[in-house]
Amino acid sequence: MTIKAVLFDLGNTLVYQNPYKTFQKILGTHGIAKTTKEIEEAFAKTEREFDIKRHSRLSAHEFYMQLNIHILKHLGITNSNALQALAENINIQWFKASKVHLYRDDKPTLAKLKKMGLKLGLITDDYKIDLEKIMPQVGLQNFFAICVCGDTVGKRKPNPQVSSMR
């Protein structure tokens, strides 16, 4: 069997970031001081309660609004007006405040695979709009023949329909 293509995931495979520090940084710009531990706990509670499959049918903006609202509530921010405004501001500031990092060996590995004549693909649950911000930030925009995002097929991994795109 000849290998013709290699598929990669994005988050925690090719790139990583610290969402807790990003959240903390954005809250700090609004005069809200929360520890990284408090934020991690709020994220963990949200992950247990938040129905990702149901919410993933939403637009990127609405998905992140709902996610941010859940996290903020777990941080004790319950004022309805403040909650909406803060959730919106987190959406707006996220990619300016976050630091997305590439793992050290990614670019040389991807370059070597391309030089070998292999097609490279990316399959991610991220929204296309997020991918369009992340890829140039880390210099990966020219490596992949195809990028399949969660909102491209309306399914999330590990659903086989995600990886059966041609």
pLDDT in tens, the chain (166 residues): 899 999 999 999 999 999 999 999 999 999 999 999 999 999 999 999 988 777 777 888 999 999 999 999 999 998 888 899 999 999 999 989 998 999 999 999 999 999 999 999 999 888 899 999 999 999 999 999 999 988 876 655 555 555 554 4
Residues 52 and 92 in one domain: yes
Residues 121 and 139 in one domain: yes
Strand partners, 136: none
What does the pLDDT read at residue 162?
A: 52
Share of the chain above pLDDT 70, in %: 90
Domain count, the chain: 2
User: Six-digit token pair at 52?
Assistant: 């990702």
What does the pLDDT read at residue 55?
A: 72
Residues 90 and 126 in one domain: no
Strand partners, 120: 6
Which is nearest to 145 in space by CA: 106, 124, 119? 119
Residues 22 and 85 in one domain: yes
Q: Residue 114 maps to which CATH number? A: 3.40.50.1000
Residues 122 and 88 in one domain: no
Residues 107 and 65 in one domain: no
What is residue 28's three-state secondary structure? helix
For residues 94 and 3, give the distance between their C-alpha atoms in angstroms, rounded to a whole number.
38
Residues 55 and 116 in one domain: no
What does the pLDDT read at residue 70?
A: 94
Domain range spanning residue 114?
5-15+100-163
